[in-house]
Amino acid sequence: MKSIKLITLLTLTGALAFTTSCKKQQPEPDARDNKVGGCLDANAVNYDSKADYDDETCKYAYVNKYEITYHPEKDESGSDWDFLTYTDADLILRVKEQGATNWMFEGPSIEDVAHNTPAVWTAPSSIKLLNKTYVWELYDEDNGTADDFVSSGSFNPIASYNSSSESTSDIGTNAANDASKLVLHITLKD
């Protein structure tokens, strides 16, 4: 009888040990559980300062075209931009990061642009825009003499980005408070 009790006890102990050793190990909780993922790069258009971790969904703005949609009809003194036959401006656009010495974009002259007619320059290469302030200047080209200032402005394309459009814009003025509008046509990339 003692041997039966001993065998039964050994069998129960073995069964208990077997069941305990077969239990699945619970996985360690992921550090991201209950945390919010998002883009943590401030240069991205979808930057999320409230995200707990970077989920690699950042989208960046690249400029493809620059457009002046309108500019003053006359120069700051109220005179026509050009003399002789054509009176419309021959527009030159320049764009750079604020404080930089070199222009990141300097478009060729677009001749005889009426004040209410868009002028468009294609970017020679797709330029990644950062979360910085950029300045732009618009001139009327005068062959042989100093170019006439039309207007200027500044913008931060990331701070002013609107997810419902593929552009960002800025209104610039001159000393006479005459306005020009710059539109940057952008493409989003990872």
What does the block give as tokens for 28? 């360690």
Residue 81 confidence class, pLDDT cut points 50, 70, 90: confident
What pLDDT digit, counting tens, does each position of 17-31 carry?
Answer: 544 544 555 555 555
| DSSP reduced 3-state for 31 | coil
The helix (run of H) or strand (run of E) holding residue 113 is strand 110-113
The SS3 assignment for 32 reads coil
Residue type, 140: D
Residues 6+ away with beta carbon under 8 Å from 104: 95, 96, 97, 127, 134
pLDDT digits 0-9 by tens, 136-173: 999 999 876 789 999 999 999 999 888 878 888 999 99
The C-alpha angle with vertex 97 and arms to 123 and 90, in degrees rounded to 5, equals: 50
* pLDDT class of 16 with cuts at 50, 70, 90: very low
For residues 4 and 141, what is the distance between their CA atoms, to the nearest angstrom? 110
Q: Specify the CATH architecture of the domain 60-189.
A: Sandwich (2.60)
What does each C-alpha distance from 40 to 95, 129, 140, 163 come to in angstroms?
Answer: 27, 16, 42, 17
> At residue 190, what is the residue type?
D
